Amino acid sequence: MVGALIDYEESLAIRRRRADTDPGSADLQNAVWDGLDKLGDGKLQAGDVAGVLRAYEESLAIARGLILTDPGKATWQNEVSVSLNKIGDLKLQSGDSAGALVAYEESLAIHRGLARTDPGNAEWQWNLSFDLNDVGDLKLQSGQTSEALAAYEESLAIARDLAGSDLGNARW
């Protein structure tokens, strides 16, 4: 694991240097986002909770900046959501259910928007269903059973639609 972390850090350093040469390049900023995301994942496996949170929070800040450069680009919106979900998971693991719910609900709002703008995109629908389950779980834990049930029912309806549209896809 130590070797992998060294590789992730080295890769991130290269990506940062490249991005510094052209700070206006969304593609190079996106490469830094990706490097931070991978570094955070590696630090999570290594048990470095503080390092994970720093990496994920920086990746979120970069993804939010990418949205400012092109608000309509679905990829940037999805990357914000990915970062939010990872931060939410980390907060949940550390006992911060309220912080996790804030992150999950923001991710849910993003995926609602993506699914609404491209209802035929199965991946956006799947992500929306996944976010609804996360929010439902936290609502249930906090005793908000009617809100949890509504989230679960909406998630189930999406999953059924996906399964019906592609009977050969075991994921749905």
Q: What's the pLDDT tens digit per position in 1-40?
A: 667 888 899 999 999 999 999 999 999 999 999 999 999 9
**Within this chain, do residues 99 and 164 fall inside the same structural domain, yes or no?**
yes
**Which tokens go with 155?**
């998630």
Say if residues 70 and 26 touch (Cβ distance below 8 Å): yes
- Structural domain count, the chain: 2
**Within this chain, do residues 53 and 86 fall inside the same structural domain, yes or no?**
no
**Within this chain, do residues 80 and 159 fall inside the same structural domain, yes or no?**
yes
- Split at pLDDT 50, 70, 90, the class of 169 is confident
The three-state DSSP-derived secondary structure of the chain is CHHHHHHHHHHHHHHHHHHHHCCCCHHHHHHHHHHHHHHHHHHHHHCCHHHHHHHHHHHHHHHHHHHHHCCCCHHHHHHHHHHHHHHHHHHHHCCCHHHHHHHHHHHHHHHHHHHHHCCCCHHHHHHHHHHHHHHHHHHHHCCCHHHHHHHHHHHHHHHHHHHHHCCCCCCC
Residue 70: closest CA among 27, 112, 109:
27
Amino acid at 167: L
- Split at pLDDT 50, 70, 90, the class of 166 is confident
pLDDT at residue 133, rounded to an integer:
97
pLDDT at residue 154, rounded to an integer:
98
This prediction has a pTM of: 0.89
Domain limits for position 61: 1-70
**Within this chain, do residues 45 and 6 fall inside the same structural domain, yes or no?**
yes
pLDDT at residue 2, rounded to an integer:
66
**Within this chain, do residues 96 and 160 fall inside the same structural domain, yes or no?**
yes
Average confidence (pLDDT) over 81-96: 95
Comparing 166 with 110, which gets the higher pLDDT?
110
**Within this chain, do residues 41 and 89 fall inside the same structural domain, yes or no?**
no
pLDDT at residue 1, rounded to an integer:
63
pLDDT at residue 118, rounded to an integer:
93
**Within this chain, do residues 64 and 87 fall inside the same structural domain, yes or no?**
no
pLDDT tens string 50-66: 899 999 999 999 999 99
CATH number of the domain that residue 143 is part of: 1.25.40.10
